[in-house]
Amino acid sequence: MKAKIALFAGAMLWAVSAAANPVGERAKGGYPEYLFLEKVPRADARSTAEKLAKAVIAGRLIIFAYSKKLTDPELGDKGFTGDVFEQQWRSALEADMLDATADQKRIIEKLIWAGRQVIENNQDRLNVKGIAWKHFLPAKWEREMGQVFTARTGIIVKQPGRNYRSPVNVSDEMELATLRHFAAAPHTDNTPKTAFSTLGKQAVYRHMEPIRLVPPCLACHGKPKGEPDMLGFEKDGLEVGDVIGLMSVTVAVSD
Ligand code: HEC
């Protein structure tokens, strides 16, 4: 009896202290970025975020176009170097840079630097022979590039997922509301959701546009829902045109 009471009291104490000191929750009050190195005037915030979103999507497409080569198990050296990637990315961006301001040009240069850096960081992985899927996908390039780019600029580029595979792609409140909006809206609704907002004390501009599925994505994000894809994740059960995530850009404003 005594032992039972002691056990019960112990369990109660544990429950009280676990409630006061929860483990594994998000720490409250702060923001993942708090030194915004690059800022743009309010009047240029929108075009800056749009240029960044466009540029990142163009980078994704280049990697996507190489995916057959990159997943060929017979090939060792794929020849997909930082240089090759940078050259193609620059020509894809040329038209959109014609009307860029000096700030925007400097910021896009840093984006290109970050994107190239990630391709270089992944050379050993990409050039492995004998393995098809080497955990290098457009989404992974974007995740790693976003972190390198944020480190250098304080501008946040991320891709929150509808049901994220990488925990880095968890949505914040605004992104979650936007994902829910696009998940319920018709496939033709691609108007970005934008807002002036704040992160801590910093005024920011936010731009969120849908990333929609095209046929080659369905091998992993398609049907049947719950069946493992070739990487072991459960498929999302989605269709062509469905939103799978967001291209989310947060730029600090200077005025
Ligand atoms: C071979 C399986 C596979 C294919 C094909 C694939 N993805 Fe993914 N996707 C993944 C994996 C794995 C991740 C997590 C990558 C990471 O960050 O490490 C991911 C992540 C994402 C994310 C970020 C959110 C998250 O889940 O972490 C988006 C957005 C996304 N994919 C969109 C697409 C689109 C659009 C296509 C087609 C153009 C596509 N994917 C094709 C496996 C796949």
Tell me the C-alpha distance between 96 and 52, whole Å.
10
- pTM of the predicted protein model: 0.92
CA of 234 to the centre of ligand 1 (A): 12
How far CA 239 is from CA of 17, 65, 119, 214, 215, in Å, comes to 46, 21, 30, 8, 8
Rounded to 5°, angle at Cα 87 from 81 and 92: 125
Q: Is 234 in the pocket of ligand 1 (CB under 6 A)?
A: no
Interval 175-234: pLDDT, tens: 999 999 999 999 999 999 999 999 988 999 999 999 999 999 999 999 999 999 999 999
Nearest-CA residue for atom 5 of ligand 1 = 217
Tell me the C-alpha distance between 213 and 242, whole Å.
6
In contact, 152 and 114? CB cutoff 8 Å: yes
Q: For residue 28, what pLDDT band results from cuts at 50, 70 and 90?
A: confident
Interval 56-68: pLDDT, tens: 999 999 999 999 9
Tell me the C-alpha distance between 139 and 56, whole Å.
10
Tell me the C-alpha distance between 94 and 117, whole Å.
20
- Percent of the chain residues past pLDDT 90, beyond the cut: 86
Give the pLDDT of residue 29. Answer: 81
Q: Is 220 in the pocket of ligand 1 (CB under 6 A)?
A: yes
- Percent of the chain residues past pLDDT 70, beyond the cut: 93
Confidence check: pLDDT of 7 > 80: no
Which tops the pLDDT comparison, 213 or 5? 213
* Residue ranges with strand state E in the chain: 39-40, 156-158, 193-199, 202-212, 243-253
Mean pLDDT value across residues 86-99: 97
Give the pLDDT of residue 14. Answer: 64
Closest ligand 1 atom to residue 161 Cα is 24
- Provide Rg for the chain, Cα atoms: 22
CA of 139 to the centre of ligand 1 (A): 5
Report the DSSP beta bridge partners of residue 202. Answer: 199
Q: For residue 17, what pLDDT band results from cuts at 50, 70 and 90?
A: low
Q: For residue 127, what pLDDT band results from cuts at 50, 70 and 90?
A: very high
Closest ligand 1 atom to residue 67 Cα is 5
Give the pLDDT of residue 2. Answer: 64
Mean pLDDT value across residues 10-33: 77
Mean pLDDT value across residues 28-47: 91
Give the pLDDT of residue 27. Answer: 86
CA of 41 to the centre of ligand 1 (A): 34
Nearest-CA residue for atom 21 of ligand 1 = 139
Nearest-CA residue for atom 1 of ligand 1 = 220
Q: Is 214 in the pocket of ligand 1 (CB under 6 A)?
A: yes
Q: Is 229 in the pocket of ligand 1 (CB under 6 A)?
A: yes
CA of 114 to the centre of ligand 1 (A): 20
CA of 137 to the centre of ligand 1 (A): 7
- The secondary structure of 46-87 as a DSSP string is HHHHHHHHHHHHHHHHHHHHTHHHHT-TT-S-----HHHHHH
Give the pLDDT of residue 21. Answer: 87
CA of 39 to the centre of ligand 1 (A): 30
Nearest-CA residue for atom 42 of ligand 1 = 220
